[in-house]
Amino acid sequence: MKRSVHVRGIDDSWLIVIVAIIAVILIVLDKTFGNTFTTSLGSIFPKADLMAFSLMALISIFIQFVLIRKTRKSVKVEKSKSRLGKSVVVIATLLQYSASVILVIILFEAIFTSQYNVDLVETIVGINLITSSVLLAILSSRFIRTLRNSPSKVVLAYTVSIAILSVSGIVTYIYADNFLQGKPDYITSDFNPFTSYAPTASPALVLLYQSIGIISFVSLWIATIFLTYHYASKSKGLRYWTIVIIPLVYFASLYIIPYLVRLDLLGAFGIEDNPIYAYGYNFFLNTVRTAGGIMFGIAFFILSRSIKHVQLKRSIIMTGFGLIILFGANASSVIIMTLYPPWGVISSTFLITGAYSFIVGLDSAALYLATDSSLRRTIAKSPQKEVDFLQSLGRAEAERIMTNKIESISKQIYNNIQYDNLFAISSEPNNVREYVNQVVGELWNVDPDVLQKAKDKHNGKNHE
């Protein structure tokens, strides 16, 4: 029986890896394939764009269903017992399914009426951006608790970057909503987004959107450097810095190339007249965030290489895939063009699944570290510097579990004492909290080997 469960767990893990890779490919195709390649195919294969969009939409719905249903199973995490945990699962699941239903309605509209409702697109964008921002805000608050209990520059960097990414989602929704509000109620196959494009957002909102995009990218880039910087001190230092700087240059090119276009430097060399330029520039423009997300996710894949614990390794890999999907799924620059079919919408429906996979991966990793003392000792003794991040997560979660347990026992004892006395002391719960904090602090300052020897000695006496 145990053997079959183990095999099924391996299958679930590989299934998640496969569908996550397909999700990244779909996101790239959705943001680049629609308004370039399928347009060219239209003269050869009528409605090629609609057929491609329909196929990608159906595949994406299936993948999102698998990610929502199998993510927790792949890392061997049971249903949460906390209200917050239950709320996260229910909200993420219901809203993801709601977004999928709306995507199906848009698909049917496009197929049978050759048009789609902009309000439905606006609803999908709002559901995914706002929900993913809320999930990231919850994760950021947990990082703040970790930072308070176990200060670390890596934890601080990720706390800031995740908080900024959460704010970025809200700003992006406001930005996209401003553009979509100025569009016709229905977008038909005859609608030309390039001749009908008219910015409706205020210059201040555009500046805020661009600024928060830059800050979120750079903050995650810095956090990634902190997580992997020890590789730079080895013989592969030059290769390391070359690899990590490429995405930053890639991202900076978003603003450098338009500047060169305004100076007409590309036209002077005849580059703009080359048909390959339009395809290449569109692909480049719409894959910057995906390329950055891949770099940020690979940092967690590198971290997982030094981990022998199977379930912890899976959790870290899940975190990496979640971050790649989450960061790459933002397709606001494509959505506001209101292309036909509505390219960019498919990518946006992956925001919830990306954020959900990200938070499940990190939370399950912290739980494994908190509930396995031998694993914490192994991590603490590891010479690899990147595991300091895991050590901070495990220590904070272990302290939370320990504190809640001690508080529960203390309050139970206190309530029993009240029944034996004539009067109660109202300030006792505060004293309990101070006592718990003092005990926890003392426990962390004790050498783990000393605690283990004491435990072994105690067990030996019990056997006698």
Cβ-based burial of 88 (10 A; exposed 0-12, middle 13-18, buried ≥19)? buried
Q: Express each pLDDT in 369-403 by its tens digit.
A: 766 666 666 666 655 555 566 666 656 555 565 56
Cα separations in angstroms, 57 against 41, 152, 160, 173, 354: 19, 42, 34, 21, 17
Q: How confident is the model at residue 35 (pLDDT cuts 50, 70, 90)?
A: low
Q: Flag whether 261 is in a domain.
A: yes
**Total number of domains constituting the chain:** 2
Residue 187 parent element (H or E): strand 186-188
Q: Flag whether 316 is in a domain.
A: yes
Please check whether residues 64 and 195 belong to one and the same domain. yes
End-to-end CA, the chain: 35
Does the structure show a pLDDT above 50 at 242? yes
Q: Flag whether 379 is in a domain.
A: no
Does the structure show a pLDDT above 60 at 49? yes
Does the structure show a pLDDT above 50 at 13? yes
Cβ-based burial of 16 (10 A; exposed 0-12, middle 13-18, buried ≥19)? buried
Please check whether residues 112 and 261 belong to one and the same domain. yes
Distance CA(139)–CA(133), nearest Å, equals: 10
Distance CA(171)–CA(166), nearest Å, equals: 9
Mark which of 371, 401, 416 sits at the end of a domain: 371
Residue with tokens 């590309």: 266
Please check whether residues 453 and 354 belong to one and the same domain. no
Q: Express each pLDDT in 265-304 by its tens digit.
A: 655 555 555 556 666 666 777 778 888 888 899 888 888 8
Please check whether residues 139 and 264 belong to one and the same domain. yes
Does the structure show a pLDDT above 90 at 324? yes
Q: Express each pLDDT in 220-239 by its tens digit.
A: 999 988 888 776 665 567 77
Chain-centroid distance of CA 392 in Å reads 20
Distance CA(424)–CA(76), nearest Å, equals: 44
Please check whether residues 138 and 206 belong to one and the same domain. yes
Cα separations in angstroms, 134 against 33, 168, 176: 30, 11, 18
Please check whether residues 390 and 367 belong to one and the same domain. no
Who has greater pLDDT, 73 or 386?
Answer: 73
Share of the chain above pLDDT 90, in %: 26
Q: Flag whether 378 is in a domain.
A: no
Distance CA(15)–CA(355), nearest Å, equals: 18
Q: Express each pLDDT in 415-455 by its tens digit.
A: 665 565 555 555 445 555 555 555 555 555 544 454 444 44
User: Which of 166, 256, 175, 253 has the alpha carbon at shortest distance from 216?
Assistant: 166
pLDDT (0 to 100) of residue 86: 80
Q: Express each pLDDT in 162-204 by its tens digit.
A: 999 999 999 999 999 998 888 888 998 887 776 665 556 788 8
Distance CA(245)–CA(254), nearest Å, equals: 15
Q: Flag whether 122 is in a domain.
A: yes
Residue with tokens 């704010």: 167
Does the structure show a pLDDT above 70 at 52? yes
Please check whether residues 68 and 166 belong to one and the same domain. yes
Mean pLDDT of the chain, nearest integer: 77
Please check whether residues 58 and 89 belong to one and the same domain. yes
pLDDT (0 to 100) of residue 409: 62
Lowest-confidence segment of 77-91, 140-154, 264-278 by average pLDDT: 264-278
Tokens of 335: 């959505």
Q: Flag whether 376 is in a domain.
A: no
pLDDT (0 to 100) of residue 447: 46
Three-state secondary structure string covering 84-132: HHHHHHHHHHHHHHHHHHHHHHHHHHHHHHCEEEHHHHHHHHHHHHHHH
Tokens of 327: 């960061």
Tokens of 208: 């805020």
Residue with tokens 């906390």: 82
Share of the chain above pLDDT 70, in %: 63
Please check whether residues 70 and 187 belong to one and the same domain. yes
Tokens of 33: 């394939």
Cα separations in angstroms, 436 against 392, 398, 407, 418: 20, 13, 7, 20
pLDDT (0 to 100) of residue 15: 81
Mark which of 311, 336, 371 sits at the end of a domain: 371
Cβ-based burial of 114 (10 A; exposed 0-12, middle 13-18, buried ≥19)? middle
Chain-centroid distance of CA 347 in Å reads 14
pTM, rounded to two decimals: 0.80
Q: Flag whether 65 is in a domain.
A: yes
Tokens of 211: 């600024």
User: Which of 217, 223, 201, 302 has the alpha carbon at shortest distance from 254?
Assistant: 217
pLDDT (0 to 100) of residue 347: 93
Cα separations in angstroms, 13 against 62, 75, 306, 322: 17, 7, 18, 14
Please check whether residues 415 and 311 belong to one and the same domain. no
pLDDT (0 to 100) of residue 47: 76
Domain assignment of residue 443, given as a range? 384-463
pLDDT (0 to 100) of residue 387: 59
Please check whether residues 288 and 413 belong to one and the same domain. no
Mark which of 311, 337, 371 sits at the end of a domain: 371
Please check whether residues 317 and 405 belong to one and the same domain. no
Q: Flag whether 111 is in a domain.
A: yes
